[in-house]
Chains A and B, each alone.
Chain A
Amino acid sequence: MLIEQISIFVENKLGRLSNIAEVLHNNDIDIRAMSIADTKDFGILRLIVNNPKKAEEALKKHEYTVSLTKVIAAGIPDKPGGMLIMMKSLFESQISVEYMYAFLSRMDESAYVILRVEDNEKAVEVLKKNGVKVLSSQEIYDM
């Protein structure tokens, strides 16, 4: 129940993100969610797209450094308390979160959170047990 996320190394220079967007556009890649982690000199752009393998190939052809990472897509009720259920259950099972970012869907009233954790299998189990929805790749890409 894990999904593939694309991570792209981006130098902190004007025009880099625009260039990446163009490559994705030219290859019909649809972005589901995105986040950028930044330091002073570079950033890592993380994307959930409808066709990760195709996106990876296209970006690599344009000399970008890209890697695929397995992450969790969790669905929680989009109202106060939603985040608490998720974070508390992970905390109680001692699961550490590397990073996360959220997005909404037009399809229903849930909020979705992409999580990278240190133990994927355990996290999926814990989340499900606590009533948090965990999406499959198909479900995410079909949104």
Chain B
Amino acid sequence: MEKYYNKNIECAPLHEIEALQSFRLSSTVRHVYQNVEHYRKKMDEAGVSPDDIKTVDDLSKLPFTLKQDLRDTYPYGMFAVPMDEVVRVHASSGTTGKQTVVGYTQGDIKIWSEVAARAIAAAGGGKDDFIHVSYGYGLFTGGLGIHYGTEQIGATAIPVSAGNTSRQIQILKDFGSTIICVTPSYALYLAESIREMGIDLSEFNLKAGILGAEPWTDEMRDEIEKGLGIKAYDIYGLSEIIGPGVAYECSEQNGMHINEDHFIPEIIDPDTGEVLPYGEAGELVFTCITKQALPLIRYRTRDIGVLTREKCSCGRTLIKMLKPQGRSDDMLIIRGVNVFPSQVESVLLSMGNISPHYLLIVDRIGNRDTLEIQVEMNDEIFSDAIKSLEEMENKIKQAIESTLGISAKIRLVEPKSIPRSEGKATRVIDRRK
């Protein structure tokens, strides 16, 4: 039996959704025009006024928003409400250590709880469930996003956060977790650890997983479902739009329903900005039409995807997006963490004497992302003692870990062994398929 959190919306006829979208879009555009200097300027430059935006079809008249716009207005420059109405901020990692900061009013938190609740219900979750939240709690939207969705739906939240594998497994067993919310690679790692520890799956009460924050293939899904004895559902989100809950997978497990009553999706040609028809692959763009603190207009996600209105067996009429196929910029997602090559560069350079020639090798070993950072040896940092060189590798490793939030293998290589280039240096070799 299909579970919906909000059947009225999730199964609403298309014309009702569109009417709702038109109304919400025009009031949001008015709201940002009045309160956000960036949008007022951009719209004035384009000769577009809020009066010109009456229906969803007018969306393409509006300017795009880029991640750079948030960086340029760091931290709160694009917020549309006074700060005393902002009850929470979150942030995602940005280049050169500057994060992208987002904010929420009390109303926005309610919206977020609602969309996250829809995702949990679609995965079969309800009041009787024990939701094991393994996403990180903190500035990252993953942990708290699912957490509030859990409380909204009335289930029991187990706020484990990320890491400490043996403790995760002990809690999964003893606390009776029924739905685990975690990144796909960590889910695989948990499955491996459980197998290695010789624990039988019958000792767990797990029935489902809500997995996201990084790309994952259907092959990986099969492995996870087998390894943990669960049905694994995809979830999509980004902090700039709200966090996890922008889109979620249903029982059909073939694409994710977008909460389009809150976020209007478009697919555009990343080079021309032209809006593409459903079924064609292009860059995903979202427009927030209900948030108050930071409703972004036509935000370019840099994720490549496809939209479809094909009928879904689950009964939901909300538009679907197929799994994002990649990123159109330099950012890497390694084990669910955003990593920019330039962050590595700043860490190495800030340590003094380390050569600016480095290489990131990203690979996938045993279904887990790995990161190796090759750093060139030079006369300044060379030492005759193995232990000093090992100490240095460790120092670099720790600096990388504390800045990037991810552990990497550091490999010292011979001088000049990292290829030099005339133009943009190849900093990353990504061997994952």
Contact = CB atoms under 8 A, between A and B. Distances in A.
A53 to B, nearest CB: 15
A10 B382 CA distance: 11
Nearest to B378: A65
A11 B417 contact: yes
A44 B389 contact: yes
Given A9-B414, A11-B413, A65-B379, A98 B389 contact: no
A98 B390 contact: no
A37 B379 CA distance: 18
Nearest to B390: A39
Contacts of A9: 377, 382, 389, 412, 414
B413 to A, nearest CB: 6
Contacts of A69: 384
Which of A7, A65, A99 lies at the interface centre, i.e. has the most chain B CB atoms within 10 A of its CB?
A65
A67 B413 CA distance: 16
Interface residues of A, number: 21
Interface of B: 377-379, 382-386, 389-390, 411-417
Prevailing SS type, chain B contact patch: loop
23 contacts: A5-B384, A9-B377, A9-B412, A11-B413, A39-B389, A41-B411, A41-B412, A42-B389, A42-B412, A42-B413, A44-B384, A44-B386, A44-B389, A46-B384, A63-B415, A64-B414, A64-B415, A65-B379, A65-B382, A67-B382, A67-B383, A69-B384, A116-B385
Contacts of A42: 377, 389, 411-413
Contacts of B389: 9, 39, 42, 44
Interface in A1-23: 5, 7, 9-11, 16
A65 B417 contact: no
Nearest to A60: B379
Q: Lowest 5 A-B CB distances belong to which pairs?
A: A7-B384, A69-B384, A65-B382, A11-B414, A65-B377
A37 B386 contact: yes
